[in-house]
Amino acid sequence: MSPAPRLRARTLAVDVTGDLLTRIPDEVDPREVVAWLREGDGLVGWGCAAEVRTHGEDRFAAAERWWDELRGTAQVEDEVRLPGTGLVAFGSFAFSPGSADPSVLTVPRVLIGRRDGLAWVTQVVVEGEPWPPGHPVELLGRSNPHISTPDPLVESEGAVPASGWPAVISRGIDRIVAGEVDKVVLARDVVVRHDLGHVVRLAPVLERLECRYAATWTFAVAGLVGATPEMLVRLQGGRARSRVLAGTMRRANGIPLPAEPTTGPSDPRLHLVSSAKDLDEHAYAVRSVSEALAPHCTDLHVPEAPYVLELPDVYHLASDLTGTMVSGATSLRLAAALHPTAAVCGTPTDVAARVIGELEGMDRGRYAGPVGWMDGSGDGDWGIALRCGELAPDRRSMRLFAGGGIVAASDPEAELAETEVKLTAMRHALGLATR
């Protein structure tokens, strides 16, 4: 690993109204776009002042060492001093230590942030480089007019065709019935390509994700883009929070189906909170997160029962855990300790990870790994990279991913349908969804 460069960062308070995503210049390499947005607030940036790529079991620790060196030597002027100001790194980590894909921690050259009515711009240069010409506020003046037009894309099968997916699920159920594993999360991919062979632009994709999936965190880091409803860990001012999801039910694009009335005993939400299969799946996931957070926290609060999180395409069983940090770990260290939770891997973790490797027939890359950002104090947000796609190195195609937790009572056809519904988020954002 090459040594971390010495950086200079300056954060200025500015006025920013409207959509942060329209500030991303068209000519920016889409793999250098970073974003972390929720309901219009958050962070959007581009360019690369410094980046580290890590691999294997050491991928989190190596990235943390690099970040420690970087923040230790950087000169930072920060007149705003909020979470996400000053020096900020964005990261995205491979699901499996055996992945061929690198994990990435990257520091953008420009970062625009907004939070509770306050906005700022951070610029970063390598020591010895001049500041870019012009006042940083000029970065906010432009507005990209092409943002609402999605690129023309075509979809094709991934590693396992949809028709073959129920058989893979059946093999997973066999392994559960054989007593090898209690729960395993199996995922598949599909491939989308620009019809004209052009580079896929990320700003329109992010825009559509952010508009439609308000209850999620819309993200982009090193070409991985999506809208995750699952917060692995947020660390802010000594408080740690985690949103655990597991247990899913389809909804019909926000419009109740005749079979899914929104009230009465057959309300799908009531069904979800009383479904033994989904509650089981959920309990495994909550336990894995609370066990991983416990050594770092006091007064860890674990809700007794989940609630139903409503997204446009699905309902999820959800639990929000909170605790007060005592270990002094950074948000990235916490994310590393929590990953992989039973919501994306299974129980027991090591056996489930092996079964995933044997049955999925693909490398997950950074899908289902931690994705997010961290500032110089170690505070930050790390989600689980779900409802997402990964831009290929040639930037002309993407792999989209979706999976689901399998327990003994799972039904293979229903699991295929669940992955199709979860793919809707990215298909919609890419202009591919038909409804």
Ligand X SMILES: C=C(O[C@@H]1C=C(C(=O)O)C=C[C@H]1O)C(=O)O
Q: Out of 84, 102, 376, 405, which residue is the one contacting ligand X (CB under 6 A)?
A: 405
Q: ∠ at Cα 72 (67, 76), nearest 5°?
A: 100
- Cβ-contact 31, 223 below 8 angstroms: yes
Quick check: 109 binds ligand X (CB under 6 A)?
no
- In sequence order, the 6+-apart residues with CB closer than 8 A to the CB of 177 are 408
**Exactly one of 80, 245, 353, 355 binds ligand X (CB under 6 A); which one?**
245
Q: How far apart are CA 305 and CA 42, in angstroms?
A: 30
Contact between 402 and ligand X by CB under 6 A: the answer reads: yes
Q: Per CB under 6 A, does 210 bind ligand X?
A: no
SS3 of residue 413 by DSSP:
helix
Q: Is 158 in the site for ligand X (CB under 6 A)?
A: no
Residue 147 Cβ vs ligand X, minimum distance, rounded to whole Å: 26
**Is residue 286 within the footprint of ligand X (CB under 6 A)?**
no
Choice between 80 and 187, CB closer to ligand X = 187
| Backbone angles phi and psi of 183, in degrees to 5 | -145, 140
Q: Which is nearer to ligand X, 25 or 254 (CB)?
A: 254
Region near ligand X per CB under 6 A, out of 97-105, 172-180, 244-252, 263-271: 244-252
422 forms part of the interface with ligand X (CB under 6 A):
yes
Question: Which of 169, 343, 353, 426 is close enough to bind ligand X by CB under 6 A?
Answer: 343
Residues 168-207, one symbol each (x = binds ligand X by CB under 6 A, - = not), give: -----------------x-x--------------------
Pseudo-torsion of CA 127, 35, 321, 369, nearest 10°?
-90
User: How many residues are there in the chain?
Assistant: 435
Q: Is 397 in the site for ligand X (CB under 6 A)?
A: no
- Should residue 230 be labelled a site residue for ligand X when binding is judged by CB under 6 A? yes
Give me 37's structure tokens. Answer: 């947005």
Cβ-based nearer residue to ligand X, 36 or 367: 367
Query: Which position among 248, 319, 330, 424 is part of the footprint of ligand X (CB under 6 A)?
Result: 248
Up-side HSE of residue 88: CA atoms within 13 Å toward CB?
35
Which structure tokens are listed for 19? 């959509």
Cβ closest to ligand X, residue 360 vs residue 379:
360
> How far is it, in rounded angstroms, from Cα 116 to Cα 294?
31
The closest of 253, 149, 156 to 205, measured between CA atoms, is: 149
Q: Which residues are catalytic?
A: 183, 230
**Nearest alpha carbon to residue 360 among 224, 189, 228, 177:** 189
Closest CA to 335 of 230, 421, 227, 426: 230
How many positions of this chain bind ligand X (CB under 6 A)? Answer: 19
Q: Specify the residue, 281 or 379, whose C-beta has the smaller distance to ligand X.
A: 281
**Is residue 246 within the footprint of ligand X (CB under 6 A)?**
yes
Q: Tell me if 104 sits within 8 A of 223, measured CB to CB.
A: no
| Residue 249 beta carbon to ligand X: minimum distance, rounded to whole angstroms | 9
Strands (E), 15-67: 34-38, 41-46, 50-54
Asked if 355 is part of the footprint of ligand X (rule: CB under 6 A), the reply reads no
Under the binding rule (CB under 6 A), the answer on residue 387 touching ligand X is yes
Question: Residues 387, 426: contact at Cβ < 8 Å?
Answer: yes
| Contact between 272 and ligand X per CB under 6 A | no
Residue 236 Cβ vs ligand X, minimum distance, rounded to whole Å = 22
**Under the rule (CB under 6 A), what is the footprint of ligand X?**
185, 187, 230, 245-248, 281, 316, 343-344, 386-387, 401-405, 422
